[in-house]
Amino acid sequence: MDSLQILLVEDNMNDAELTIRALKKNNLANKLIHLKDGAKALDFIFAQGEYSHREMDNIPNVIVLDLKMPKVNGIEVLRRIKSDERTKRIPIVVLTSSKEDPDIQECYSLGVNSYVVKPVEFDHFVKAVSDLGLYWMILNQPPQ
């Protein structure tokens, strides 16, 4: 894969499928990789384990990250990415069902770029993800 655009880290297959469908609707899912847990996400980002063949400098334009995941949770993934000089500038959007204030506070203190609570209603979910995709892939100007 040449230039990776979106890394989706989501263990709930229904939410992942809805997210991918919403991004495809706006032609934003062409270069998307979906991983199902935080351990795989860290291996992928840092080009280790089963992803050791990957070029680490092929970083995503944005990471869409769930918090409540098996193996390594989203907060730990966020902590590791934002604390590493090579990866700390990658925009991370937390897309989660957690409205817990401590989660929100911790994510922002770790450097998350955006925190979005997943809308429950299907149409609202699709619109929220579409808007996120358009903003982070089209409107946002990342550092070079």
User: Is 1 a domain residue?
Assistant: no
Interatomic CA distance for residues 45 and 1, integer angstroms: 14
Neighbours of 15 (CB within 10 A): 18
Interatomic CA distance for residues 87 and 81, integer angstroms: 6
Q: How far is CA 132 from the centre of its chain?
A: 11
CATH number at residue 66: 3.40.50.2300
% of the chain at pLDDT higher than 90: 74
Q: Quick one: pLDDT at residue 132?
A: 92
Two tokens at 94?
A: 């937390």
User: Is 25 a domain residue?
Assistant: yes
User: Is 144 a domain residue?
Assistant: no
Total tally of structural domains belonging to the chain: 1
pLDDT of 98-113, one tens digit each? 898 999 999 999 999 9
Interatomic CA distance for residues 144 and 129, integer angstroms: 25
69 is in which domain, residue-wise? 6-139
47 pLDDT more than 50 = yes
pLDDT band of 129, cuts 50, 70, 90: very high
42 pLDDT more than 90 = yes
Q: Quick one: pLDDT at residue 140?
A: 87
